[in-house]
Amino acid sequence: MGCGVSKSNQFHKNAGKAIKSAVLIQRWYRQFVARKEMRRRYTWHIFQSIEYSGEQAQIKLYNFLGYLMDNFTPASNERNLISHIFRDNEVCRDAEWERYFCYKNIEVPDLYSGPHLTFPLTVEQAVGLVEAFRNKKQLHSRYVLQLLLETWKQLRLLPNINRISTCHSKEITICGDLHGQLEDLLLIFYKNDMPSLEKPYLFNGDFVDRGKDSIEILIILFSFLLVYPSEVYLNRGNHEDHIVNLRYGFTKEVLSKYRLHGKRILKLLQKIFSWLPLATVIDQKVLVIHGGISNTTDLSVLARVDRHNYNSALRPPKKRHQREAEESIDSDEEAGSTNKVLQRRPSLTSPRTLTRNCFQNRSLQDFSDRLKANTVEEVEVHEGLPGPFGPENDTSQSCESISSEDEWKQILDLLWSDPMAQDGCVPNEVRGGGCYWGPDVTEDFLNRHNLQLIIRSHECKQEGYEFCHNRKVLTLFSASNYYDVGSNRGAYVKLGPDLVPYLVQYQASSMIRELSVRQSAGRSERSANKVLREQLFAHKSDLICAFKKLDSENKGRVSLANWASAVESVMHLGLPWRIMRSQLVTGRSADSSIDNSIDYYEWFNELAIKGANADHIDQSLLETLYRHRSTLETIFRIVDTDNSGFITMEDFRQTWKLLSVYLKMEITEDAISDLAVTIDSNQDGSIDIEEFMEAFRLTDKKSRLERGRSMFMGTATDLTKLEGDPHI
């Protein structure tokens, strides 16, 4: 029939259109997805670069301070300002130690509504603590100190490398970085049950910093460690380090939550961190460490070091000749360390140079007795040089094989390294410590030690975990939404006797409301862009300099290509600047971009961060302040020896002098006075660190309250200060 034919034609025409239409939509959808993925990646990259460059800045700072220590005379002011952080704990023997950290005279007031602890700890109490923290309670400082003391005693018994086995069909659960994110720990316990005799756990470091509940996480982990010493294992991470904590928020958190006793808690924690085991081996086949390995990592060396001598991985042992040039000593030494090396043999009459010896098997008691009698001279005590040598070998030769620098490097590599795709092993310049190690190094290491898998953490991964090096290395990260809401999932791994990793992912949902995919991606992007714009502004002078070089005719404009290359040459972030141009160059400077050139002066006007009451301060000084605010804050906190949050005017000046040397820039006395005047509003000669940082808009008050973490170099600035209980 005629109609049939035409109908069939119509049908085919329609079908053809339908297909064409479908293909069109499909293509556009795929493009949308691809572009979104690209934007997600560079947003991630922004967060990660800034995180790592913060770590790098941290290490640079400490290298600088170390340099100061080595090269300034003992009498110099600058040195005195900071020498205390290079000095070991002032408390010496066990008796004094216990007295200093005594909790017994701390009273718990009746009004206190948090949990009460009795020792020895029971599982009910540990579980009770988890509940209490879930309900936002805080543990009283008396119990905190008591808990920490017990924990310290326990940790001292542990070897450098835990060796555990999954016998009796026990599956062990391994968790990565938690970074003070209590929600994630609670989620893990909810999904996987709490630690028990049937449920062993291993926590792979970085329990603290950045998140706002670091101390609560520690309390929970330590409690379970005490209750189940054979089922709960802890590895040290690079953030279990009091110097890193100064910068990344843990110090601040503790001082804020524990006004009265925070300092003591921190000091005790310093010790505890150094006593955390460095690694764990499961069934002699799986190595679990926080950072990674290098081509020189040797487990037998690591098994033998005195790990507690390495308070901070950022303090390298001093060079030999410099040590011998040293003149000062603390008469106090670290308690409990049996293999301490002293630089100089103490003498009653005249100084005699100590050879670099190992005084193993002699208890520190022996030395402290002798030293106590020698107040004439001062010798600086440094990280030890142990080794399995007998007491007869009091000669330097036998110790030469393992220098303390080698040991330090072994530990640094273990805690700071990252894997890379290429073969080889190169220094990790991005973080400033440890290495990048390649698949060949993994292969070699596993063979040498007869292992089959390395599980490590240290790097945030979008899915919470990632395999690399031919599935021989597993990265595990347990802090979900780390960079921002929706940025990544967390994961934990379960390992049974078959040693096949079974991964479980999650994402703390209280942080994610019902955001559509577009919304949450957009939010992260906006957040990252904001951070990036501030970074750009902080480097204004260098950028203008770079632009001028390319703007030969001095028109105040550069082409897009030149803009991108100049920005990269200054910022070194490896970002796709051209693609991001539309987000970074906005407002009037975008309008005036004719023929794709950019008016860079106008651009900086757009980016400018207006200081509140800072108009009388020199612009370039302001920029310096902004760029180095994290370093500045860290230095302040070092200078603030009693951790009170205040420093004296005089120390303030000294700090600036220090900073000017570090930054190699001129800061005049007048400029410093101007600064001081601005913030010492009550004229009492002391400066409140927090106020200072806020006065110059160096911390963004608004974002502080939004999240538990500031993106600015990771200071955990969301500390809703506990107004309630002054007695805690």
Partner 1 sequence: MAPKKVEAKKPEAKKPEAKKDEAKKDEAPPPTSRAQSPRGEMKIRFAQCGDVLRALGHNPTNQEVLKLLGRPKPEEMHTQLLDFDRFLPMLQHVARSKETGAFEDFVEGLRVFDKEGNGTVMGAELRHVLATLGEKMTEHEVDRLMVGQEDANGHINYTEFVKHVLAG
Instruction: Kindly tell me which of 42 and 222 has the beta carbon lying closer to partner 1.
Output: 42
CB of 712 to partner 1, least distance (A): 22
Residue 550 touches partner 1, criterion: CB under 8 A: no
CB of 528 to partner 1, least distance (A): 13
3-state helix vs strand vs coil in the chain, percent to 5 = 50, 10, 40
> Binding marks (x or -) toward partner 1, 508..547, rule CB under 8 A?
--------xx------------------------------
> Binding marks (x or -) toward partner 1, 193..212, rule CB under 8 A?
--------------------
Residue 548 touches partner 1, criterion: CB under 8 A: no
Q: How far is CA 18 from CA 7, 8, 15, 34, 538, in A?
A: 16, 15, 5, 24, 54
CB of 554 to partner 1, least distance (A): 25
Compute the residue count for the chain. Answer: 728
Q: Which of 6, 9, 28, 388 binds partner 1 (CB under 8 A)?
A: 28
Residue 575 touches partner 1, criterion: CB under 8 A: yes
Q: Which of 108, 468, 503, 671 binds partner 1 (CB under 8 A)?
A: 468
Residues 6+ apart with CB under 8 A from 38: 579
Residues 6+ apart with CB under 8 A from 123: 196, 227, 228
Residue 35 touches partner 1, criterion: CB under 8 A: yes
User: Count of CB atoms within 10 A of residue 447's CB?
Assistant: 10
Residue 18 touches partner 1, criterion: CB under 8 A: yes
SS3 409: helix
Residue 33 touches partner 1, criterion: CB under 8 A: yes
Residue 36 touches partner 1, criterion: CB under 8 A: yes
Q: Which of 6, 7, 9, 37 binds partner 1 (CB under 8 A)?
A: 37
Instruction: Kindly tell me which of 240 and 459 has the beta carbon lying closer to partner 1.
Output: 459
Cβ(491)–Cβ(506) under 8 Å?
yes
Cβ(710)–Cβ(699) under 8 Å?
yes
CB of 59 to partner 1, least distance (A): 15
Residue 722 touches partner 1, criterion: CB under 8 A: no
Instruction: Kindly tell me which of 106 and 430 has the beta carbon lying closer to partner 1.
Output: 430
Question: 3-state SS string over 650-719?
Answer: HHHHHHHHHHHHHCCCCCCHHHHHHHHHHHCCCCCCEEEHHHHHHHCCCCCHHHHHHCCCCCCCCCCCCC
Angle, in degrees to the nearest 10, between helices 577-584 and 2-71: 90
* Binding piece for partner 1, criterion CB under 8 A, among 68-76, 360-368, 529-537, 563-571: 563-571
Residue 549 touches partner 1, criterion: CB under 8 A: no
Closest by CA to 85, choosing from 243, 232, 213, 221, is 243
Residue 41 touches partner 1, criterion: CB under 8 A: yes
Instruction: Write out the two tokens for 82.
Output: 């900071």
* Binding piece for partner 1, criterion CB under 8 A, among 25-33, 93-101, 118-126, 502-510: 25-33
Q: Is 449 considered catalytic here? A: no
Residue 568 touches partner 1, criterion: CB under 8 A: yes
Instruction: Write out the two tokens for 142.
Output: 């008396």
Instruction: Kindly tell me which of 104 and 526 has the beta carbon lying closer to partner 1.
Output: 526
CB of 586 to partner 1, least distance (A): 16
Instruction: Kindly tell me which of 208 and 460 has the beta carbon lying closer to partner 1.
Output: 460
| Euclidean distance between CA atoms 568 and 177, whole angstroms | 31
Q: Which of 7, 9, 12, 27 binds partner 1 (CB under 8 A)?
A: 27
Query: Which residue of the set 179, 239, 261, 458 is catalytic?
Result: 239
H/E segment holding residue 523: helix 517-538
| Euclidean distance between CA atoms 313 and 416, whole angstroms | 9
Instruction: Kindly tell me which of 339 and 597 has the beta carbon lying closer to partner 1.
Output: 597
Buried/exposed code over 401-427 (b: 16+ C-beta within 10 A; e: otherwise): ebebebbbbbbbbbbbbbbbeeeebee
Instruction: Kindly tell me which of 29 and 601 has the beta carbon lying closer to partner 1.
Output: 29
Q: Which of 12, 30, 136, 320 binds partner 1 (CB under 8 A)?
A: 30
Read off the amino acid at residue 458. Answer: H
Question: What part of residues 390-449 is at the interface with partner 1 (CB under 8 A)?
Answer: 420-422, 424, 426, 429-430, 436
Residue 14 touches partner 1, criterion: CB under 8 A: yes
* Binding piece for partner 1, criterion CB under 8 A, among 37-45, 246-254, 370-378, 478-486: 37-45
Residues 6+ apart with CB under 8 A from 662: 61, 64, 631
Residue 576 touches partner 1, criterion: CB under 8 A: yes
Instruction: Kindly tell me which of 436 and 477 has the beta carbon lying closer to partner 1.
Output: 436
Q: How far is CA 439 from CA 282, 477, 700, in A?
A: 21, 20, 42
Q: CA neighbours within 13 Å on the CB side: how many for 89?
A: 28
Residue 99 touches partner 1, criterion: CB under 8 A: no
Number of residues this chain uses to bind partner 1 (CB under 8 A): 51
* Binding piece for partner 1, criterion CB under 8 A, among 15-23, 155-163, 222-230, 310-318: 15-23
Residues 6+ apart with CB under 8 A from 307: 160, 236, 274, 275, 276, 277, 278, 411
How far does CA 127 lie from the centroid of its chain? 28
> What is the side-by-side strand order in the sheet with 172-175?
232-234, 201-203, 172-175, 490-495, 502-506
Question: What part of residues 52-71 is at the interface with partner 1 (CB under 8 A)?
Answer: none
Instruction: Kindly tell me which of 564 and 687 has the beta carbon lying closer to partner 1.
Output: 564
| Euclidean distance between CA atoms 332 and 91, whole angstroms | 6
Residue 34 touches partner 1, criterion: CB under 8 A: yes
* Residues marked as catalytic: 239
Residues in touch with partner 1 (CB under 8 A): 14, 17-38, 41-42, 45, 420-422, 424, 426, 429-430, 436, 468, 516-517, 560-561, 564-565, 568, 572-579, 596
